[in-house]
Amino acid sequence: MSFTTPYFTLPKFVYFKPKNIEEALGMLKQHKGRAKVMAGGIMLVNLMKERQIFPEYVIDLKNIDELKKINVTENGIEIGSMVTAIELQNSKLIKEKCPALAKAASFMGDRTLQHTVTIGGNISVGMPSTDGLPALMSMDSVLEVRSSEGKRFLPSSELVLGIGRTSLKEDEIITKIIVPNDEKVMGTYLKFINASEVAIATVAVTVHHEKKKLALSVGAIAPRPYYFDNSSLQWNWEGSVAENIKRASDVVYKAVQPMSDAVASAEYRKEMSKILTARALKEVFGGA
Amino acid sequence: MTYKNVGKEVPQADSWLKVTGTLKYAFDINFPGTLYAKLVTSKLPHAKIKSIDISEALKVKGVINVATGKDFPYRLGLYLSDRDVLAVDKVRWIGHPVAAVIADSLEAAEEAAEKVKVEYEPLEPVLTVERALEKDAPLIHEKLGEYRVFPGFHPVPGTNIANVFELKHGDVENALKEEDTIIIEETYRLPQISHVTMETQNVLAWWRFDDYVEVWTSIQSPFATRYLMADALKLPVNRIIIHAPPAGGGFGLKAGLGWEPLVALLSKFAGRKPVKLVLSRAEQMTSAPARDGFIAKVKAGFKRDGRFVAYKAEFYLDAGAYADYTINVARTAGYSADGAYDIPNVHVTSYAVYTNKIPTTAMRGFGHPENHWALELTLDRAASVLGIDPVEIRRKNLLKPGESVRATGERVREDEGDPQKVLSVLAQAIDLNHVERASEPWKIRAKGIALLVKAPSQPPNAGASAVVKLNEDGTIDVLTGNGSMGQGTPTSLAILAAEAFGVPLEKIKINQLEMVSTDTNPYTWQTVGSRGLFSDGIALLRAIEDAKNQIKETASRVFKVPVDDVEISEGYAYSKTHPWIRKEIREFAMGYTYPDGTTVGSPVIGRGSYAPILNTFLDANGHGSNTVFHTYGGTGVELEIDLLTGEVKVLRAVQVYDVGKAIDPLLVKGQMDGGFIMGLGSALFEQLKFGEDGKVLNPNLITYYVPHFEDMTASMESYIIETPQKDGPLGARGVGEHVMVAVAPAIANAIFRATGVKINELPITAEKLWKAIKEQKPELIDKALKSFFEEGIKEVEQI
């Protein structure tokens, strides 16, 4: 996504606004390969404006109420894929149970766009600097993906394959994000930007106290976010947090192999991954 | 002198319209039946155009016509006619407009633009100044010698040098050779940056059936645009009518000649229907001009006691594909290279150099962000080597009003301002030697300063005029040519008018707030260079004097007293010797009518005009008198560097300017704050990035980053000094552009002073500073990491 083309207008397309998931999936099947699903539309409209994609049909999910709900079920917390960034930030449940996601939502686009940005759309874009995915990965969330053939469950860490590429098939829609419903969850999301709105590095952390479980995801530095848990970070629940943070930051520093691009060099991203990891962990463990 | 209106904090007259979103910009103006234009631009940096196939584009429904360079064989330009309307024969940068589609909808125009097929024969692109200056470099303008050149400029045909300017004063070589001279030698650079006006350039033009050409456009300088268009299109000047509604930002982008000739010609080409061109942000940042890139090779000589004795500099401005305005940027950078200092030996050579990149033009303070970046950094480097305080080294070398002579040979006027006072106020406010501890042990707190002086860079005859009309009810209409672009000058002019006429401010209407039209408003050369309040202000005061004289003339007949006994104040004309004889000035507005109908006098309309006195072009040594006033100022910053990331956060800014007289202090402060933030953006973030082929890689506001609210400096202090300019309107001088110039040097100087790390090129991004520290002072980062990982997380307890 380069935002370099001069156009104001969009290429011609036919617009659908189905009322339920089944109708949307039916349309997607009927126009397979020639249709694109629109969630918030931020990326889709820009890709069309940039003349990078030319869908003949656009299937807008905005009228499908069942995708806009946040429910607690026996599976955990189910977040509809059309829940907006503003709703994520304002939901008491999300703030309490998914703090990394609530914080990440505050970085999606700008404040105005956050009324439009959806969590499903945000992660389906597959761009390295996407805010939602590292947060979802740190929460070990699973995506419910549906097509007219049925549904499947995809770990959030397996969604993105490369820059702009996901494991979603052409007739599939992310319908829900399912997060474990744990007690006493702590977490945060840090985003480091400078001289560009595209992130240099992002870090999401989620800690489940009682389960003695910690997961951390580093985004924006490579095509796919990196995932670490307490065992790969060599986290010692009995040891001093300061030592743990230092060790974890070193682990992250040694493990990541960032990319160089117009936003930052690999060397700088590697260093910032370390600093951001330490800052995120420090914040979660109360060092502010 | 006590004033009724001057010196009060008055919000800009168009504030209500702006905050309610109802002010009409050029962008908002549309006529039924308006056609839309879309540019087709070059994909190659340098190439011959072999053929252009428009047949597929013409088939798109709604397309009226497609124009190419051959349809419009005119040459354009402000100081040098180096521009074509659309590319003729060859393209000179990626983004160069090759063709323009005209259609009845924007959709059709954009669809058709994609279908115009251009066949090129690639030429070797010249993408750096270094390459452009090599003997065997391909020529970007083969016909440079045939272009029309404004007096005082010197293109070098047969090369890529669009202009060379030389300034010689004293004997630099000797002064540098002297045994006790300490030499500071540095190379400084600035990147190309974009003006980022909120309103992109846009033009609505209608070539009427009576062969008058009407243009509604977002510009700063309607009269210069009209003249340059007439000159290029070989039309009488008054056949062209320019309407300039308030511009959504100008910053120099909208000062020279823009897209008006193209859109006017497209209107004619489309059967004399109105045509509108609106640039997208990407087009604005790839096909329209930016600020020049800059290289300065500097050799400066100082004596042990801090005296600045020699300054030798070569400036190279990367002008891109067109330099019609940038040649004056190079000239200005050259003649004002000595800044606010009395340097006995100066030799500056300043080149504007063509490259196959985005063209360049004027930008806020042009020449000065460039030359002050070199000069003000050099002073702090010298201060460090000599062990002198940055304030002291400046104090020692500042120009002395009434005594010193600039390198141009121009004497520094007695009433030019008070540079020592500027420095003292700045030094006291910023308190360089008292630096508090940083907020975290891995951060460094730093303070730095920079000064500047700047005069408008304009031709010797840059004139202005004004008209004042008294209405039936005593309200007053003021007309000037001063364009409104957010700078506030119209409001200041209205305040001047109220003061001079002796009426309350609400009686004054300044028409150009809605529009400056070349058919109705009086002439001013351009709204540029911070010259508006000074030049248009003097003209306006003269017009008011003229109008008042007309009232006095009539009143003296009515009052039956001599003319010189009549005075005007508080909306009344009265006899000085018999003050009970008085009448409201409205009674004289259309002449005075007695009860029986007999009328004496006639409608009151005042005229006034102004041109600089005894200004000249500069000679071959850069000598002459080419300025009307100078404004001194300075910036101090207090900042924190995060040594872990290289991020710079400016915590406090101090701006000090000697404005002569603050007609509206609120507007002066507004300019200081706005200029500071713009300077902050250029210091820390902004840079057009080019690919290996010269393509702009970040033509959008996602990857070309300007300051956001969270980047703002929390504490911005402004100090206004008022040393009257004798010939200025009520003592005032301009300050609009100045306020961004010293910001970047002050930031770089603060970083250098606190860390010893030299950054010679903007922007100072976090990564650039982190790398520079790692290279120049790695121990600082090591120490910061140690304190962060040892102390920074010590307080964190296992839960």
Print the SS3 string covering A143-185: EEEEECCEEEEEEHHHCEEECCEECCCCCCEEEEEEECCCCCE
Give yes or no: residues A201 and A251 share one domain: yes
- Give the neighbor-by-neighbor strand order of the sheet with A35-38: A14-16, A57-60, A35-38
Give yes or no: residues A152 and A116 share one domain: yes
- The SS3 call for residue B438 is coil
- Average pLDDT of the residues in B12-29: 92
Whether residue B789 and residue A263 make contact (CB cut-off 8 A), yes or no, is no
Contact B354, B126 (CB under 8 A): yes
| Unique residue bearing structure tokens 């050779």 | B177
In this complex, which of A249, A272, A285 lies closest to B799 when CB atoms are compared? A285
The bridge status of strand A201-208 relative to strand A185-192 is antiparallel
Give yes or no: residues A24 and A122 share one domain: no
Which residue among A131, A150, A179 closes a domain? A179
Q: Is the pLDDT of residue B792 over 80?
A: no
Chain B CB contacts of A3 under 8 Å are 282, 699-700, 702-703
Whether residue B106 and residue A8 make contact (CB cut-off 8 A), yes or no, is yes
Contact B657, B633 (CB under 8 A): yes
CA distance B567 to B583: 11
Instruction: Give B89-101 pLDDT, tens digit per residue.
Output: 999 999 999 999 9
Please report whether residue A5 resides in a domain: no
Whether residue B106 and residue A9 make contact (CB cut-off 8 A), yes or no, is yes
Please report whether residue A197 resides in a domain: yes
Whether residue B697 and residue A4 make contact (CB cut-off 8 A), yes or no, is yes
| Unique residue bearing structure tokens 């996504």 | A1
A102-115 in b/e form (b: 16+ CB < 10 A) is: bbbbebbbeeeebe
Task: Name which residue leads in pLDDT, B511 or A168.
Answer: A168
Give yes or no: residues A206 and A267 share one domain: yes
Chain A CB contacts of B686 under 8 Å are 195
In chain B, % of residues over pLDDT 70? 99
B577-609 in b/e form (b: 16+ CB < 10 A) is: eeeebbbebbbbbeebeeeeeeeebeebebebb
Name the minimum distance, in Å, from the CA of B697 to any CA of chain A: 7
List of residues 6+ apart from A136 with CB closer than 8 A: A101, A123, A156, A177, A179
User: What is the chain A residue with the closest CA to B283?
Assistant: A6
Q: Shortest CA distance to B538 belongs to which of B704, B404, B286, B729?
A: B729
**What tokens appear for A212 in the block?**
């003695």
Which residue among A132, A160, A179 closes a domain? A179
Whether residue A262 and residue B792 make contact (CB cut-off 8 A), yes or no, is no
Name the minimum distance, in Å, from the CA of A41 to any CA of chain B: 17
Q: Is the pLDDT of residue B779 over 80?
A: yes
The bridge status of strand B590-593 relative to strand B572-575 is unpaired
Which residue among A130, A150, A179 closes a domain? A179
**What tokens appear for B650 in the block?**
């400016």
**What tokens appear for A159 in the block?**
């969604």
Q: Cis link prior to B763 (omega < 30° from 0)? A: yes
Instruction: Give B379-438 pLDDT, tens digit per residue.
Output: 999 999 999 999 999 999 999 999 999 999 999 999 999 999 999 999 999 999 999 999
Q: Is the pLDDT of residue A3 over 90?
A: no
If one counts every other C-beta atom within 10 angstroms of the C-beta of residue B182, the result is: 14
Q: Is B280 on the interface with A (CB under 8 A)?
A: yes
Angle at CA B131, nearest 5°, toward B129 and B133?
70
Please report whether residue A6 resides in a domain: no
Instruction: Give A216-233 pLDDT, tens digit per residue.
Output: 999 999 999 999 999 999
User: What is the chain B residue with the closest CA to A240?
Assistant: B798
Query: Which helix (DSSP H) or strand (DSSP E) does residue B499 occupy?
Result: helix B489-501
Instruction: Give B501-549 pLDDT, tens digit per residue.
Output: 999 999 999 976 678 999 999 999 999 999 999 999 999 999 999 999 9
DSSP states of B450-482: EEEEE-----TT--EEEEEEE-TTS-EEEEE--
Whether residue B282 and residue A3 make contact (CB cut-off 8 A), yes or no, is yes
pLDDT score recorded for residue B795 = 59
Give yes or no: residues A152 and A87 share one domain: yes
Whether residue B286 and residue A197 make contact (CB cut-off 8 A), yes or no, is no
Give yes or no: residues A277 and A191 share one domain: yes
Q: Is the pLDDT of residue B333 over 70?
A: yes
Name the minimum distance, in Å, from the CA of B653 to any CA of chain A: 20
| Unique residue bearing structure tokens 């100044």 | B129
Q: Is the pLDDT of residue B714 over 90?
A: no
Please report whether residue A148 resides in a domain: yes
Please report whether residue A195 resides in a domain: yes
* Burial environment of residue B89 by CB neighbours within 10 A (0 to 12, 13 to 18, 19 or more): exposed
CATH number, domain of A139, equals 3.30.465.10
Q: Is B644 on the interface with A (CB under 8 A)?
A: yes
Which of A268, A270, A284 would best serve as a mutation to test chain B binding (most B beta carbons within 10 A)?
A268
Which of A4, A129, A200, A245 would best serve as a mutation to test chain B binding (most B beta carbons within 10 A)?
A4
> What residues pair up with A199 in beta bridges, in sequence order?
none
Whether residue B702 and residue A239 make contact (CB cut-off 8 A), yes or no, is no
Contact B690, B194 (CB under 8 A): no
The bridge status of strand B213-217 relative to strand B240-244 is parallel
Whether residue B644 and residue A286 make contact (CB cut-off 8 A), yes or no, is no
Give yes or no: residues A197 and A168 share one domain: no
CATH number, domain of A234, equals 3.30.390.50
Task: Name which residue leads in pLDDT, A210 or B116.
Answer: B116
User: What is the chain A residue with the closest CA to B39?
Assistant: A6
CA distance B496 to B729: 8
Please report whether residue A9 resides in a domain: no
In this complex, which of B39, B644, B689 lies closest to A275 when CB atoms are compared? B644
User: What is the chain A residue with the closest CA to B697?
Assistant: A4
Distances (CA, A) of B797 to A206, B442, B790: 17, 21, 13
Q: Read off φ and ψ for residue B31, nearest 5 degrees.
A: -115, 155
Give yes or no: residues A125 and A189 share one domain: no
CA distance A107 to B367: 39
Give yes or no: residues A143 and A88 share one domain: yes
CA distance B67 to B73: 12
Q: Is A262 on the interface with B (CB under 8 A)?
A: yes
Instruction: Give B567-597 pLDDT, tens digit per residue.
Output: 999 999 999 999 999 999 999 999 999 999 9
Instruction: Give A109-145 pLDDT, tens digit per residue.
Output: 888 999 999 999 999 999 999 999 999 999 999 999 9
User: What is the chain B residue with the closest CA to A246?
Assistant: B789
User: What is the chain A residue with the closest CA to B767?
Assistant: A268
Whether residue A287 and residue B795 make contact (CB cut-off 8 A), yes or no, is yes
Contact B62, B103 (CB under 8 A): yes
In this complex, which of A198, A239, A287 lies closest to B703 when CB atoms are compared? A198
The reply to whether ipTM tops 0.85 is yes
Give yes or no: residues A71 and A131 share one domain: yes
- Average pLDDT of the residues in B677-688: 98
Give yes or no: residues A94 and A147 share one domain: yes
Name the minimum distance, in Å, from the CA of A252 to any CA of chain B: 15
- Average pLDDT of the residues in A148-160: 96
In this complex, which of A5, A246, A287 lies closest to B282 when CB atoms are compared? A5
The whole-chain average pLDDT of chain B stands at 96
The bridge status of strand B476-480 relative to strand B508-510 is parallel
CA distance B627 to B616: 9
Whether residue A278 and residue B697 make contact (CB cut-off 8 A), yes or no, is no
If one counts every other C-beta atom within 10 angstroms of the C-beta of residue B550, the result is: 19
Q: Is A53 on the interface with B (CB under 8 A)?
A: no
Instruction: Give B342-356 pLDDT, tens digit per residue.
Output: 999 999 999 999 999
- Domains of chain B, first to last: 15-20+462-511+527-610 (3.30.365.10), 31-123+201-278 (3.90.1170.50), 290-458+617-782 (3.30.365.10)
CA distance A263 to A193: 9
**Which residues, numbered 119 to 138 in chain A, qualify as contacts with chain B under a Cβ-Cβ cut-off of 8 Å?**
none
Please report whether residue A226 resides in a domain: yes
pLDDT score recorded for residue A288 = 42
Q: Is the pLDDT of residue B1 over 80?
A: no
Whether residue A241 and residue B106 make contact (CB cut-off 8 A), yes or no, is no
Residue type, B682: S
Name the minimum distance, in Å, from the CA of B268 to any CA of chain A: 24
Give yes or no: residues A171 and A216 share one domain: no
Please report whether residue A7 resides in a domain: no
DSSP states of B202-213: EEEEEE-TTS-E
Q: Is the pLDDT of residue B2 over 90?
A: no
Chain A CB contacts of B684 under 8 Å are 195
- Average pLDDT of the residues in B357-378: 98
Name the minimum distance, in Å, from the CA of A3 to any CA of chain B: 6
User: What is the chain B residue with the closest CA to A8?
Assistant: B280
- Range(s) of the domain holding residue A26: 14-60
Alpha-carbon dihedral sign for residues A127, A132, A137, A140: negative
List of residues 6+ apart from B692 with CB closer than 8 A: B127
| Domains: count for chain A | 3
Q: Is the pLDDT of residue B469 over 90?
A: yes
| Unique residue bearing structure tokens 């008491």 | A92
Round to the nearest angstrom and report the end-to-end CA distance of chain B. Answer: 70
**What tokens appear for B272 in the block?**
């004399």
Tell me, letter by letter, the H, E, C secondary structure of B351-405: EEEECCCCCEECCCCCCHHHHHHHHHHHHHHHHHHHCCCHHHHHHHHECCCCCCE
If one counts every other C-beta atom within 10 angstroms of the C-beta of residue A213, the result is: 18
User: What is the chain B residue with the closest CA to A274?
Assistant: B644
CB pairs under 8 A between A and B: 115
* Burial environment of residue A74 by CB neighbours within 10 A (0 to 12, 13 to 18, 19 or more): exposed
Contact A205, A241 (CB under 8 A): no
Chain B CB contacts of A198 under 8 Å are 702-703
Contact B752, B641 (CB under 8 A): no
Distances (CA, A) of B112 to B54, B65, B268: 9, 10, 20
pLDDT score recorded for residue B743 = 98
User: What is the chain A residue with the closest CA to B784?
Assistant: A275
